Amino acid sequence: MSPFSVSAFRHLFGAQITSLVGTGLTTVALSLLAFDLAGEDAGLVLGSVLALKMVAYLLIAPVAGGIAHRVPRRAWLVGLDVLRAAIVLCLPFVDQIWQIFVLVFVINAASAGFTPVFQAIIPDILDDEKTYTKGLSYARFAYDLENLASPALAAGLLFVWQFDSLFIVNCLTFVVSAILIVSANIPAAAQTDRVGGFYENTLFGLVAYLKTPRLRGLLAVYFAVSCVGAMIIVNTVVLTRSVLGGSEITTTVFLACAGAGSMCAAFLIPRVIDQLGERRLMLSGIVFAAGAMLIGGINMMLGFDSAVFYAVLWAIAGAGTTFAQTPGGRLVQRSAAVGDKSAFFAANFALSHGGWLVAYAMVGWLGGLVDLSVAFLASGSMALLGVGLAMSVWPRKDPLEIHHSHPGFWHDHPHDHHDPHHTHAHPGTQTHAANANDHADAHSDDGERHRHEHFHPPVTHKHRFVIDSHHSRWPVESGEQV
């Protein structure tokens, strides 16, 4: 089934497209604004802005994921779209560099709250895994298409408008995104049985994510992707202009090659992922991308400077990184309880961007202070290091259902009687029911969610395993207590 047959996905995909295009226009306008205010120091300003963006993601996403389950998701997304529109509308009036830093931090903080909740909604409306995989591929395709289209659209608009008008266009795209979200049929978030305050809920997603072996492997893959991706983003202009002696058009062509490779991979993923599985596909993809970087570095050290050769490497790297990162959404939604998806996607968003913060600094400093060939070799080597780490922490056998044991314990949290962990009677009932359905019948609310202190008897059983309030650690051996 096509994800576009689901009306909610069509609306949310449209919201994603419009906000991506607007953000792309703002990226161009920010570059021009930085040059207008800082002159020759514009690169330093933009580099600082990029680092500040990563810091906002790292700090804000876990907080947003920890509290998002307490707010209606539609109101949350629309409110953050309106906030982003208001902040972008302030940018044309900026006349000091510090103002750029403040506004960029706020708008990226809003994006850090928006994106994980948005990502958590998609598997709820595309509950079939094959359809969800197609949705992930279309989302990746949209991202790559925006990277190609936004600079061209910006160039066309700049023929008739001043660059600060691009900020106004971005403001309008966020408004359109908000309208599309309002019109979408977004299901209510599943209730979570998490209790605790702000601190506990903020840390929950990060801790649970890092306790899940497949997600630790995913994080290592994301780090490898960031090492290759940062090389493309930061040093394409250095390669094309300084090494190959090309023009601005050459730079654009190289970025288009990387984007074209990525888009081809995005279309192939739904066709090959079921045969290969996520682990093999993702590790193979990043190995190819890392190999392209290593070959590029060796080629440069030997003195070869063929533009066609490097363009092919850029296409391979673009395809490899897309094979490596696009299926990640399947792993995250598979690893989270239905009520905890926002927290897991927020942890995924924050932790993966930590890798980009390190990679940007690594390839930028090495390329500028040492030599571009060293940056190539470091990019490929660190990516392969990420592959090795992923292979060591992500087991080949990764079943969804795991045989495990629980000790007896008391605790207090919201629950119903539709799962095997809550087989208890209530005050006023005469017998202990034999299973969850009998308990629901015995309860006056007929199995609806309620809260009271209750006892979990010792049990050994097998079911889909996730880290949550009942499972605090991952079992290493079958039947182990958790």
For the chain, what is the mean pLDDT?
A: 81
Inform me whether the pLDDT recorded for 176 exceeds 90.
yes
Predicted confidence band of residue 225 (pLDDT cuts 50, 70, 90):
very high
Alpha-helical (H) ranges within 394-432 are: none
More confident residue, 17 or 214: 214
Predicted confidence band of residue 412 (pLDDT cuts 50, 70, 90):
low
Report which listed range, 43-47, 217-221, 369-373, 462-466, is most confident.
217-221
CA 39 distance to own-chain centroid: 34
Predicted confidence band of residue 261 (pLDDT cuts 50, 70, 90):
very high
Classified as helix, coil or strand, 97 is: helix
User: Rg of the Cα trace of the chain?
Assistant: 24
Mean pLDDT of 445-472: 73
Q: What is the pLDDT of residue 446?
A: 47
Q: What is the pLDDT of residue 244?
A: 83
Distance CA 230, CA 220 (A): 15
Torsion of CA 155, 158, 160, 164, to 10 degrees: 150
Asked whether the beta carbons of 166 and 23 are under 8 A apart, the reply is no
Name the residue among 323, 344, 307, 325 with its Cα closest to residue 116.
Answer: 344
Inform me whether the pLDDT recorded for 308 exceeds 90.
yes
Q: What is the pLDDT of residue 50?
A: 73
Q: What is the pLDDT of residue 228?
A: 94
Distance CA 259, CA 253 (A): 10
Name the residue among 188, 463, 467, 137 with its Cα closest to residue 329.
Answer: 137
Q: What is the pLDDT of residue 424?
A: 60
More confident residue, 29 or 414: 29
Q: What is the pLDDT of residue 429?
A: 46
Distance CA 89, CA 106 (A): 13
Does the global pTM surpass 0.85?
no
Predicted confidence band of residue 78 (pLDDT cuts 50, 70, 90):
very high
Report which listed range, 213-222, 228-237, 351-360, is most confident.
213-222
More confident residue, 31 or 239: 239
Predicted confidence band of residue 188 (pLDDT cuts 50, 70, 90):
confident
More confident residue, 321 or 110: 321
- Where is average pLDDT lowest: 300-304, 325-329, 409-413? 409-413
Q: Sketch out the chain's domains with CATH numbers.
A: 1-187 (1.20.1250.20), 205-398 (1.20.1250.20)
Name the residue among 253, 255, 240, 223 with its Cα closest to residue 360.
Answer: 223
Name the residue among 168, 219, 195 with its Cα closest to residue 353.
Answer: 219
